[in-house]
Amino acid sequence: MELRAIYKKLQKFTARATGLEDTQVIFTNQQGVRPSKPFVTIDLRSIQQVGTPVIKHVDEEGIESSIMSMTATATFQCFADKLFEAEELLAELALKFNTELVNEIFEQEIAKKRTIKAVTIIPAFIDSQLEHRAIFEIEIAFKRAVTYRVGLIEKIELNNSINNVKITL
């Protein structure tokens, strides 16, 4: 699964779980104007392979296809103007990871592995105005397909120097 697809599924899940519009769920570090509050940002980081490939296959053209087990940290931050709104929205999101909505949106392609940081309030001052902010962080698991041209050896010819016989494998 490509990272772009993971972001899109997380965006759809977050919007449905919190009741926000898709335009109010954005990706961290993107260019442009912030949406009106409340809104949620999503960030994926610490993306890594776990263990050896689940499936590995080389076809007749020398293309190796592997399915890798991967994990990543997904961080959700909510920004709001109203007191307790940010933590309420993320608390609702956290609870929805234990419902059927997970199967409906993720279609068994993404799974919550564990909670890294429970919903936590982190208010901040922006231009001397209090901005209510909360954070929720989980580890997710997914599979990623990787292909690589490894080539094939069609035949090997050996010369037996003892009895001067050619062997073809």
Domain count, the chain: 1
**pLDDT (0 to 100) of residue 4:** 93
Instruction: Please give the average per-residue pLDDT across 143-167, as a whole number.
Output: 80
The CATH code of the domain that includes 60 is: 3.30.2000.30
Residues spanned by the domain of 31: 3-168
19 in the Ramachandran plot: left (φ > 0), alpha (ψ -120 to 50) or beta? Answer: left
- pLDDT single digits (tens) 93-148: 999 999 999 999 999 999 999 999 999 998 777 777 778 999 999 999 999 988 88
